[in-house]
Amino acid sequence: HESEGQALEVGENPSKDIAALLDRAIAALWQVWPSTSPVVQRLQGLRDRLLSGRLQLAVLGQFKRGKSTLLNALLGAPLLPAGVIPLTAIPTFIAWDGRPRIRVTYHSGNRLEEFDVQGPDEIRGILFNFVAEEANPKNRLEVARVDLFYPAPILENGVVLIDTPGIGSTHRHNTD
């Protein structure tokens, strides 16, 4: 970006420099929009993600192409439900934590459930109840997202893997 003919100088910590620019943009936007404005909230979220050092990697593709299976391989354990029929209906965010647990967030936004879990079988079973089309048809439970926290080496440095429903599923609501 150039301003008045001068190039923006980036210091030794580009993330902090960009965060400072986002702070200035947010402050300027507050002059015309309330802090609850979607634009302001998105910029604040972008700033927070930038400073957290997280890399979110969503696995996208047609249904039944092995997205969950690929993620299981990257995680080093069969944690995500995978099967012959289209399974994943709800996005599953997988992030590092030293203690395996599952958090379910509902569309209402004011309700969360957390489960302490042990081992791949228990993790897969609980995930199945919330993210699988078969167990939660047309998302009758009104789940917005599921977070799995797990101590996999690939997640240690801020990587967040996201398992998504398949595109082109026979279940239109999954594709949407």
| Residue 83, CA distances (Å) to 9, 131, 148, 152 in order | 51, 13, 19, 22
pLDDT in tens, 61-97: 876 678 888 999 999 999 998 865 556 788 999 999 9
Residue 174 confidence (pLDDT): 44
Residue 118 confidence (pLDDT): 93
Tokens 């947010």 locate to 26
12 — pLDDT class (breaks 50, 70, 90): low
Secondary structure (3-state) at 163: strand
Q: Return the closest-CA partner of residue 112 out of 100, 103, 120, 123.
A: 103
Does the structure show a pLDDT above 50 at 175? no
